[in-house]
Homo-oligomer: A and B are copies of this chain.
Amino acid sequence: MSTVTKALGLLEYFSKSRPEIGLSNFTQLTNFDKGTVFRYLTALRDQGFLDQNPLTKAYRLGPAFIRLAAVREITVPLVSLVAPIVDRLAEDTHELVHAALPQMKGMSTLHYLDGGHGGIRVGFNGAGLLPFHATSSGIAMLAFGHPDLFKNVISGEFEKFTDQTSVQANDLTQRIEYVRSSGFAAANQWFEADVCSVALPFFDGKGIALGTISIATPASRMSDDARTSLVHTLVHACTALTSTLGGQVPAYVSSIWAHL
């Protein structure tokens, strides 16, 4: 493991619930030597990737991300192409619609919108990572994404979030194969009690899934009919998005989607 990898790994510890991390705290979290962590942190800070709370001296994500995210979006304008599609879906379905991309440790938000007006809603943290094994987005991504992604993820450990969460590699592999043959992933309270979701992938120019769009609802609203209807809506959206992005839905997927 290169020093660069280890240093960059520090950035992954930040989240909504852990926005600032001090030196000692970091050494515990990482089990690296304190001097080592300190050198990593100062290198990251000097480049603007971290920033220090002047009062507590604790580190937090730095201003470099503002600019680099802007350059990234100009280079690959994913968010600006995906957002209108998600917004339209949310408006049409009145549910929580979420577009996501894979990262190492889970699916990360591209854009989301809750189209629900009143009543029961699904809570959601747009800056978090959704686990691959316990969400419809994650399973859809593993089913239709790059084989290396599947290999990496399946060899890891899996947390049990609810009674319904599968944590055995065998079960997950089987589930993923089923998803591949059915053309979409449907989750029934795998991650959170009372939340169901469906997810479909969108593809790059080589027919490899780039990311997913999913719709989450309270379990009470996810009847078979409702699910079927959402899947049909998502087929249209993902087909359109794939084409907008200059991608290609693989022939076998295209055929499954046409006969749903």
Contacts and interface: CB of A to CB of B under 8 A. Distances in A.
A87 interface: no
Instruction: Give the number of copies in the complex.
Output: 2
Contacts of A43: 2, 4-5, 8
Contact of A4 (B7, B54, B78): B7
Nearest to A7: B4
A41 to B, nearest CB: 10
A46 B102 CA distance: 12
Interface string A36-54: 0001100110111101001
A55 interface: yes
A126 B70 contact: yes
A47 B101 contact: no
A205 interface: yes
Interface stretch (A12-20, A176-184, A225-233): A12-20
Contacts of A51: 76
Contacts of A64: 11, 103
Interface residues of A, number: 55
A103 B48 contact: yes
Contacts of A91: none
A62 interface: yes
A52 to B, nearest CB: 11
Interface string A126-140: 110100000000000
A174 interface: no
Nearest to A11: B68
Interface stretch (A27-35, A104-112, A156-164, A190-198): A104-112
Contacts of A8: 43-44, 47, 49
A75 B20 contact: yes
Given A4-B40, A5-B46, A15-B71, 8 more contacts: A3-B3, A20-B75, A48-B104, A51-B76, A63-B103, A67-B127, A69-B69, A70-B126
10 contacts: A2-B3, A5-B43, A14-B68, A16-B71, A48-B103, A66-B101, A67-B127, A68-B69, A71-B127, A74-B127
